Structure 1
Amino acid sequence: MKNITRDFKYICLLAASITLSACSSDDDGATNADIQYPELVSGDANFSKYVSVGASFTAGYTDGALFAAAQNNSFPNMLSQKFALAGGGTFTQPLMADNIGGFVAGPTVILNPRLYFNGSGPTLLDATPTTQITDVLSGPFNNYGVPGLKSFHLAVPGYGFANPYFGRMASSAGATVIGDATAASGTFFTLSEIGGNDVLEYALSGGTGIDQTGNPDATTYAKEDITDPTLFASVYNTVVTALTANGAKGVVTNIPYITSLAHFTTVPYNPLDPNENANFASQVPTLNNVFGALNPIFEAVDPTRTIVFSQTEPSPVVIKDESLTDISTIITTQLLASPTFPAFLAQFGLPPAAAPLVAGLLGQTFGQTRQATANDLFVLPSSRIIGKVNQTYAGFLEAQGLSNTVARQFAVEGVTLPLEDKWVLIPTEQTAIKNATDAYNATIQSVATDKGLAMVDFKGILDEAAATGYASGNYIYDTALVTGGLISLDGVHLTARGYAIIANEIMKAIDATYGSNFEASGNLVDPGNFPTNYPPTLR
C-alpha cells in the first residue's frame, strides 16, 4: 500500500470576481451623486470619544495575522471615520510595525506572518516580521481589540504578560483590558464578539478537551476549555456596567456559530476519491481486505463502525470517535481466536508468531473508530495530512518489529491510521459549542435590553451568509474559503469587506436605537471599496 494523497483544490481568486458579482445597483443608471440625502444627525448618541472593545475582529485580524493595513480596515476604524462626520474625535490604534504580521523577539520569530493567496491556496508570506514582542506603545488608545481575548481575560491584571497584543498597548504591567478601556472615558463604545474565543480554542483543537492545567475531560465546561456560561454572564455584566458607568451609549454584538466558518466547512468528510486519485483507487481492494478482518467484529458490536472503501465514489476518512465505547480488548481477543488470522498476517509477510503483536496493535488502533459522516466537521489543517503517512507512527510500528513497508501501510492518516480527535469535531463536540454559544448570546441580548444598548445580530449575518449568501452593494457574500469574499484566508476571521459589512450593521443598529441616520443620509461604507485579500508585495 503506497502513500495515498489528495490535494485539496482552491478556486483561483481571479474567479471570485465572477462569483461575487451577483447583482448590481447601477442597472437603472442612477448614481449616488444623483440622490439627495438628508443631513447626517447623531440622534441621542455622542460620538466625541469612541472606544472599541473586543477581540480579534475588533482589532482587524485577518489572513491569520494582525498587520497595519488590516488594522486600518478594521470595522472600528471605519466607524470612527463615519462618526467623525457627526462630531466624533480622533481614533488611535496600536498599529503593528509592518504589513507582514506576526511577532519577533530579537531575531526569533514568535508568531508567523500573514497568509496570502498564491493562486492555489493560502500560503504563509515569505518574510520576517519586524514587530518586536517587547515593544510597548504609548497610549492611550481608542481600539482595545485584543486577538485571543476570552471574556474572563478582560479583567485579568497583567494580562499583557500572557497576550503580546495587549502587552504592547497596556498602560502598565498590571493593567487590565477593561480598566484601560474605561480609563479612556469614551462617550460611545462598541463591545464586539466577546464570547467567540471562549469556544474557538476548543473548536480549533478539534474539541480535544484540554483545560488550562492540561487535563482532558469532556464533562464540564471548565475542563472543555469552553468558558462556563455562568462565568461568562458574570463577566459580561461587569464589563458592560463599567463601560456605561459614565453614561456612555454603545453597541454590542452577539457571536455566530463558529462551526459555520470556512475553517470547519472546507475539508470534506469524504475526500478519498478513486476517480481523482488513481493511486488510492488501486489500493481499495487491499484496504477492504484489511478491514474485512475487522468488520465482522464491528458488525457484531456496532454496525455503524464498519469500514468499507468504494472503488467508484468518494469514501469517508476513518476517524477516532472518543464518544464510542472502547472495544480494543474485544478486537484483540476475536482476532486471536479467528482461524483465518494467520492467513491475514501472511499476506503482509508476517509469521503466525506475530499474531499477538498485530492483534494488539489493531485493537489499540481501532477500538474507538468509524468512518466519518456528513455530520462531522474537519479543521482546515487536516487537509495537509489526510492520506499522508504519519512518519512518527510508522516509526513506532517499526520499533514493534514490523517492516518499514508494513509499518507505512498501517500509518496512512485517515485511512489505516484513524484521524486523531484534534482534526475533527464530532456531533457531540459541535453540540457543546452550540449550547455555550446560545447561552452567551442569551446573556448578551439580556444585558443589551437591560442597559438600553443597540445590538447587532452577528450570528444572524453569518447564518444568512452560510445558507444563502449575504447581499451587500453589488455583491453577494458567503462563507466559502477564498471565493466567498466574507471569510479571510485563515478560515475564521473576516476580510476587510466582511468588516465593512459589520460596520454597516452597527451603524444601522445605532440608527434604530439612538435616532441617528447613517443609512438614510447615505453614510454607510461600500464594502466593494475594500479588498478581500492583500498582495504578497504588501510588506
Structure 2
Amino acid sequence: MKNIKYILLTAVLVGFTACNDEEDFEDQLDNPTEEVVYPDLTSGTADFSNYVAIGNSLTAGFTDNALFIASQENSMPNMLAQKFALAGGGTFTQPLMDDNIGGLLFGGNQNEDGSFGPRLYFDGSGPASLPGMSSTEAFAPSLGSQNNMGVPGAASFHLLYDGYGNPANLLTDPPTANPYYVRMASAPNATILGDALAQQPTFVSLWIGNNDVLGYATSGGDQTVAAITPQATFEGSINAIVGALQAANVQGVMANIPYVTTIPHFTTVPYNPLDPTNPDFGPQIPLLNSIFGALNPIFNAVDPNRAIVFSETEASAVVIKDESLDNISGTIIAALNASPTFPGFIAQFGLPAEAAPLVANLLGATYGQTRQANANDLLVLPSSSIIGTVNMESVAALMDQGLPQALAGQFSVEGVSLPLEDKWVLIPTEQDELQIATDSFNETLEAAATSAGFAFVDANSLMQQLDNGGYSDGNFILTSSLVTGGAFSLDGVHPTARGYALLANEFMKEIDETYGSNFEASGNLLDIGNYPTNYPPQLP
C-alpha cells in the first residue's frame, strides 16, 4: 500500500449548493483538492537492523545541564531509532536515569562543587536549578552496554580509554573515569568503542569531538582547567575509531564540530551589562571614574585602549583581565609612587600618606593586564551571576594587606573594580585558537567519514545558520537565542528536544544522500513542532 497524505490546497470547501452559477461550479472542477502521494519508505542500501549511537552528551540527550529520563527519551539517537524501526530497524536501548530531576549521586551524596547537579528550569526570569536531589547513583551496578553509547563529557580519545568505566577511577584525584560510562561499562577495563562494537552493530552514528574544544572554551580559555586536544591526538583517535568501524563492516553517519562561539553559552551575556540606572551601580560611577582617572594617564601612555571610563548615561562594558596584554604592573607602581598627588588621592579613602606605596602596589598588581571589554569579547553564560557581586576572597586578601573591610569591598566588585578573570571571558586570541583547532578537527572528521563511505552532517554550518538569522523548518524558525530561540536548552550548550529533532532530520537527509534511503522523500522526517522547547519543573 502507498503511504498517502492529503494536503488541502483550498482553505474552505464550498458545497455544490453554494454555487451561484455554472462558472463557479466549473471553477471547482478545474481546481480540485490535490493529494500528494508519497512513495513507500525504503532503507536503500543501509542496514538499520542493529543501530548503535556513539558519542558524547549530544548523543546521550543532555539538556538543561543534565541527563534525565525525558531528555533521554527525546535524544537524537532515540528519534532516529524510531524512524529506523520503520525501515527494518530493531530495538534501541538507552541507559535511562532513575528520575526526571537529573544529575548523579556518588555514594548517596551530591558533588560538593555542584557538578552533576539537578537540571535547570525556567523560573520566569531565567535558568534556575531544580530543587531536589537526584536518585541516580553513579556507583550502582552496571546496566551493561546500551544502543545509546553517548557519554556526556567524553572527548575523542576517551572512546579508546580502557579505564574510563572503572568505578575505582572515580576516586582518583583527579578522577580518570566518567560516571555516566561507569553506569553502563561491560567491565572495569572496557572501552566505549569496544562495548559499541561488541553489540555487532550494522549501523552507527558517530558524533564526537565537541569536548576536544568545549572544555577550553567554557573555562574562558583557561589552560589550567582544560586544554584543546592536540591535533595529533585527535587525528589518531578518530582514525582508530573509524578504522575499527570499517574493519567491522559497519555503515554509519558522522557529524562535525560546531564553532563554540555560535552557541548561546557565549553569546547571551553582553560585554556591556553595567546599567547606570541600576541603583547599586549608577551612584558609584563618579567615584569609580575618579579611581580610574588616576590610572588612565598611565594606560593612555601605554595603550589608549586600556583606559577605563564608566558612562553615566549609557551601558558600560565590564573590566576584564586580558592575559594577551603586556603586564604593566611595574609601570603602574613606579608612576604612582613618583606622583606627588598620589598621597592626596588616597586620602579620600581615609588612608594616610604612608599607605601610598602599599596602595600603588595593590593597584599595579590588580590592573597590570586590564581593559574594558568590547564587542569582540565573549562572556561565558555563568558570568551573568557574578558580575557586580563582591568577591569575598579578594576582600580577605586586601584586608590582609592592611585595607579596611569597607574599602576592600569597594575594590572587589567583579567586573567593575575587580577585573573579571580569564575563566569568565573568551578574548579574541582564544577564539582564534578555538576556530583554528575546530577547522582542523573538522577536516579530519570529514576525511575519515569519506574514507569509510559514511554519511556526513555539517553540523557546523547548521549552527552558524541558527546563529545568523535562524533555521526555518515548516511552521517554525529556530534561532540560537537562549530561552526564546527554541533550539538551545537553558545551559546554552545543548539543544532542546526540538533542537535535537532538527538535528535528527539533518542526519536522515544525509543518510538519504549516501545510502539511497528516502526518509525525506517519503514524508518520514520528524515534525519538530511535536517536541518541546522547555521542560516544566514537574515531570512524571
TM-score (norm 2): 0.90
Partners of 1:33 and 1:530 in 2: CA distance? 29
Q: Deviations over 1:197-239 (max 9, x none)?
A: 011111111111126xxxxxxxxxxxx6100112111110110
Mark the CA change 1:26 to 1:467 in structure 2 (over 3 Å): closer, same or farther: farther
Other-structure match for 2:214: 200
What is the SS of the residue equivalent to 1:186? coil
**One of 229, 232, 248 as aligned partner of 1:230:** 232
Partners of 2:71 and 2:344 in 1: CA distance? 61
Compute the displacement of 1:337 (Å): 0.5
Other-structure match for 2:434: 433
| Equivalent pair of 1:151/1:195 in contact (CA under 8 Å) | yes
Q: Deviations over 1:365-407 (max 9, x none)?
A: 0001000010000111111111111122112212221112211
**One of 112, 115, 122 as aligned partner of 2:117:** 112
Other-structure match for 1:359: 360
Q: Where in structure 2 are the equivalents of 1:72-471 lying within 5 Å? A: 72-110=73-111, 111-161=116-166, 162-192=177-207, 194-210=208-224, 225-274=227-276, 276-471=277-472
Paired residue type of 2:189: G
What is the SS of the residue equivalent to 1:287? helix
Partners of 2:11 and 2:220 in 1: CA distance? 50
Higher RCO, 1 vs 2 (CA within 8 Å, ≥6 residues apart): 1
Q: Deviations over 1:166-186 (max 9, x none)?
A: 110000010001111111111
Q: Structure 1 unaligned runs (5+)?
A: 1-24, 212-223
Compute the displacement of 1:508 (Å): 0.4
Compute the displacement of 1:249 (Å): 1.1
| Equivalent pair of 1:61/1:493 in contact (CA under 8 Å) | yes
Max radius of gyration: which structure?
2
Q: Deviations over 1:291-334 (max 9, x none)?
A: 01001111111111111111111111000001111111110110
Compute the displacement of 1:109 (Å): 1.4
Mark the CA change 1:28 to 1:80 in structure 2 (over 3 Å): closer, same or farther: farther
Partners of 1:132 and 1:239 in 2: CA distance? 30
Partners of 1:90 and 1:340 in 2: CA distance? 79
Paired residue type of 2:337: L
| Equivalent pair of 2:9/2:34 in contact (CA under 8 Å) | no
Compute the displacement of 1:28 (Å): 6.0
Other-structure match for 1:13: none
Other-structure match for 2:28: none
Other-structure match for 1:14: none
Partners of 1:229 and 1:182 in 2: CA distance? 25
Mark the CA change 1:399 to 1:140 in structure 2 (over 3 Å): closer, same or farther: closer
Paired residue type of 1:159: Y
Partners of 1:390 and 1:69 in 2: CA distance? 37
Paired residue type of 1:185: Q
| Equivalent pair of 2:60/2:150 in contact (CA under 8 Å) | yes
Compute the displacement of 1:26 (Å): 8.7
Other-structure match for 1:537: 538
| Equivalent pair of 1:158/1:173 in contact (CA under 8 Å) | yes
Compute the displacement of 1:27 (Å): 8.4
Partners of 2:41 and 2:517 in 1: CA distance? 7
Partners of 1:37 and 1:137 in 2: CA distance? 44
Partners of 1:354 and 1:248 in 2: CA distance? 73
Partners of 1:154 and 1:28 in 2: CA distance? 54
Between the aligned residues of both structures, percent identity stands at: 60
| Equivalent pair of 1:94/1:137 in contact (CA under 8 Å) | no
Partners of 1:261 and 1:61 in 2: CA distance? 15
Other-structure match for 1:218: none
What is the SS of the residue equivalent to 1:432? helix
Paired residue type of 1:196: N
Partners of 1:35 and 1:241 in 2: CA distance? 43
| Equivalent pair of 1:67/1:100 in contact (CA under 8 Å) | yes
Residue 35 (structure 1) aligned with residue 47 (structure 2): no
| Equivalent pair of 2:108/2:137 in contact (CA under 8 Å) | no
Partners of 1:304 and 1:125 in 2: CA distance? 42
Paired residue type of 1:88: G
TM-score (norm 1): 0.91
What is the SS of the residue equivalent to 1:109? coil
Partners of 1:501 and 1:208 in 2: CA distance? 32
Compute the displacement of 1:138 (Å): 3.4
What is the SS of the residue equivalent to 2:366? helix
Compute the displacement of 1:278 (Å): 3.4
Mark the CA change 1:28 to 1:425 in structure 2 (over 3 Å): closer, same or farther: farther
What is the SS of the residue equivalent to 1:293? helix
Partners of 2:131 and 2:193 in 1: CA distance? 36
| Equivalent pair of 2:8/2:34 in contact (CA under 8 Å) | no
Mark the CA change 1:450 to 1:133 in structure 2 (over 3 Å): closer, same or farther: same
| Equivalent pair of 2:343/2:353 in contact (CA under 8 Å) | yes
Mark the CA change 1:237 to 1:416 in structure 2 (over 3 Å): closer, same or farther: same
Paired residue type of 2:441: Y
Paired residue type of 1:182: L
Partners of 1:477 and 1:29 in 2: CA distance? 27
Partners of 2:481 and 2:139 in 1: CA distance? 36
* CA root-mean-square deviation: 1.6
Paired residue type of 1:249: Q
| Equivalent pair of 1:47/1:83 in contact (CA under 8 Å) | yes
| Equivalent pair of 1:102/1:129 in contact (CA under 8 Å) | yes
